[in-house]
Homo-oligomer: A and B are copies of this chain.
Amino acid sequence: MTFCYDYARPAVTTDIAVFTIQDQRLAVLLIQRGGEPFAGHWALPGGFVEADETLEACALRELAEETGIQGVWLEQLYTFGNPERDPRDRVISVAYFALVPMASLNPRAGSDAQDARWFFIDDLPELAFDHRDILDLAQHRLRAKLDYSTVAFSFMNETFTLGELQTVYEIVRGETLDKRNFRKFVKSLNLVEDAGATRRNGTHKPARLYRLIQPGHLHYIR
């Protein structure tokens, strides 16, 4: 079956940059492409928008199909429409980004991709298409959003220590923070509560565990 139109139409895809924290470093989920173009190259998960789905539904579906990751929070990042960005055809891509808790999800390769795995953001392979540009913009946006929202909490597991949360801020911002000032900041948000338990992490004092009062809510601060 073919679909015919009076004017040329671009293909429309979504691509998704999923971030997490692994081994104290920022990591992103990539798939290895099975088919042309860029066969064998690593790329962001994503694919073509179907006739009756929203853009966000497309991103969620492709993410699930290609990596097994489900039910994440997505934010639209930017739409990339350079006519040369796909060598074969005119393809416009609506890019999304997502944050998932530290190491909570084990990606598995889906039907459309040979492989799916996490890469450290500062140690990336060569990427297909303009996906490097998309990732750079996503990382930039993530950093900016840290300052005026509670995105960073999306990296946390259900319960977490303030030390872990501080580490996330330090990794994304690329600088160390003062412990006392950071804890003052977190407590002033009034968004976390004592989970009533502690966690032993090594040969030292156990840390108090906290949880979000409204899990899944993104708040704007400042």
Contacts and interface: CB of A to CB of B under 8 A. Distances in A.
Interface size class of A (residues with CB under 8 A): 20 to 34
A220 to B, nearest CB: 9
Interface residues of A, dominant DSSP: loop
A6 interface: yes
Interface of A: 1-12, 48-55, 76, 78-79, 81-83, 90, 92, 94
Contacts of A12: 9-10, 12, 81, 92
Contacts of A5: 2-5, 9, 11
A90 B50 CA distance: 10
Given A9-B9, A55-B79, 16 more contacts: A2-B5, A2-B6, A3-B7, A5-B5, A5-B9, A5-B11, A7-B11, A9-B11, A10-B12, A10-B49, A12-B92, A49-B92, A52-B90, A54-B81, A55-B81, A92-B92
Contact of A76 (B8, B10, B51, B79): B79
Nearest to A49: B10
A79 B79 contact: yes
